[in-house]
Structure 1
């Protein structure tokens, strides 16, 4: 059984707690996403911004080697990753940043910068695969960190509902918190909180795609397929990290 370190309480370690208690990796990524979107909106014209999205967003049409797509063949290799750093508007960005802070924090604290990058990156690729399976012939462009954020969510689900593992020092009697054990899929199926959270989240995403009118938006505006496939990628990625890093 692995006993990775869990979140530390800043008040227990002495001193004043920081105003923003996020891991440096998560903080740096949020700052980068905000600055990138701000710069693109300040510097680029509307036409240039759209071309910017075409160049670095993922478009299924690229697989047909469409000559009108900027970036050429090389874009097939970078857009499965770069699309996750682009956002259509500020609301899109803010929504992803908030969920990134919530679910990226436990992943970064448990697995460190490398593990965080692995889950984030696999979420981006997983999101592209899910989107591609549904929109193979589509001209729509996939952008946004939603697939990666969903992967962080799927990874965090594996341990966020598990009880804390504690150890008592035989000499001092001090109780130390070691972390939370990673649950197996079969164990999560027996946890009503984990099942309920997953069912609601999956259900909302399916509604986005099947009944977009009920959700008050066009179905193409929400890449629900990327959310679900990214979630699955993160769910299984953390098991590999657990074996490799601990």
Structure 2
């Protein structure tokens, strides 16, 4: 299932969401100019290697900086291919603007970064001996999706679902789509633990960790005062603000 759009219109220009998409895209374009050996070294320098954190002696033997924390930040702005970055940026475009509306641009940016760090920590906890750099914005975006899950329970998502090369389009509740996506990550993550060779190089548990972080902590980042932008009926009640459309 591939999401095409959601039913919740944005109220304010999603400046940070646009900025993140542009910034990630520019870095990816830079990656495409690097020869393969240089790009591999680039990923090892700025991607996050779990074993470097859990086994500093091993990292020192390879000349890696074990004290630098920058990879926790830089890894979420790197991508491994066109499909990787397109899928991530499209998902951020679908869900990021509405979450940014609720949080405000600067709180949203902080929430995005912290979600990505939380996702990386969960991945390290589950895969402490991995020597493969983790890259990509999907952990941070999973946090955005987790926030959307609780903030917009009445929203609907238009999805694309091909069946035997026949393109089908459905409108489903956002709660259903996001819950299905989350359970898919948990199931795939469990399979990756049972058979690491079948994980496909995807940090499933980073997705799980980012989603749970966003779902459980998003209210800490929401503006507590009444905003100038009007609220919509598929936005959840937050901080006691009265929603004239709320029927819960």
Relative to structure 1, the CA distance from residue 137 to residue 240 in structure 2 (aligned partners, 3 Å threshold; closer, same or farther) is: same
Counterpart of 2:43? 53
Cα distance in 1, alignment partners of residues 62 and 147 from structure 2:
34
Does the 8 A contact of 2:52 with 2:131 survive in 1? no
Q: 1:30 aligns with which of 21, 27, 30?
A: 21
Cα distance in 1, alignment partners of residues 209 and 181 from structure 2:
13
SS of corresponding position for 1:221: coil
Does the 8 A contact of 1:54 with 1:69 survive in 2? no
TM-score by length of 2: 0.71
Cα distance in 2, alignment partners of residues 143 and 89 from structure 1:
11
Cα distance in 2, alignment partners of residues 80 and 245 from structure 1:
32
TM-score by length of 1: 0.71
Relative to structure 1, the CA distance from residue 24 to residue 209 in structure 2 (aligned partners, 3 Å threshold; closer, same or farther) is: same
Q: 1:67 aligns with which of 60, 68, 79?
A: 60
SS of corresponding position for 1:73: coil
Counterpart mapping for 1:120-131 below 5 A: 120-131=112-123
Relative to structure 1, the CA distance from residue 143 to residue 108 in structure 2 (aligned partners, 3 Å threshold; closer, same or farther) is: same
Cα distance in 2, alignment partners of residues 156 and 135 from structure 1:
27
Q: 1:227 aligns with which of 167, 182, 207?
A: 207
Q: Which runs of 4+ in 1 moved over 3 A?
A: 68-71, 192-199, 243-246
Counterpart of 1:240? 220
Higher fraction of helix: 1
SS of corresponding position for 1:142: coil
Counterpart of 2:104? 112
Does the 8 A contact of 2:104 with 2:223 survive in 1? no
Does the 8 A contact of 2:60 with 2:66 survive in 1? no
Counterpart mapping for 1:84-99 below 5 A: 84-99=76-91
Counterpart mapping for 1:63-212 below 5 A: 63=53, 64-65=55-56, 66-69=59-62, 71-75=64-68, 77-162=69-154, 193=173, 196-211=176-191
Does the 8 A contact of 2:103 with 2:223 survive in 1? no
Cα distance in 2, alignment partners of residues 193 and 95 from structure 1:
20
Report how many aligned residue pairs link the two structures.
195
Relative to structure 1, the CA distance from residue 156 to residue 82 in structure 2 (aligned partners, 3 Å threshold; closer, same or farther) is: same
Does the 8 A contact of 1:23 with 1:109 survive in 2? yes
Cα distance in 2, alignment partners of residues 149 and 89 from structure 1:
17
User: Structure 1: 5+ residue runs without aligned partners?
Assistant: 1-5, 10-21, 164-191
SS of corresponding position for 1:235: helix
1:190-219 CA-to-partner distances (Å, cap 9, x unmatched) read: xx956534431122113333446xxxx940
Which range moves more in the overlay, 78-87 or 232-241? Answer: 232-241
User: Over the residues paired in the alignment, what is the CA RMSD in angstroms?
Assistant: 2.5
Does the 8 A contact of 2:153 with 2:174 survive in 1? yes
Q: Which has the larger radius of gyration?
A: 1
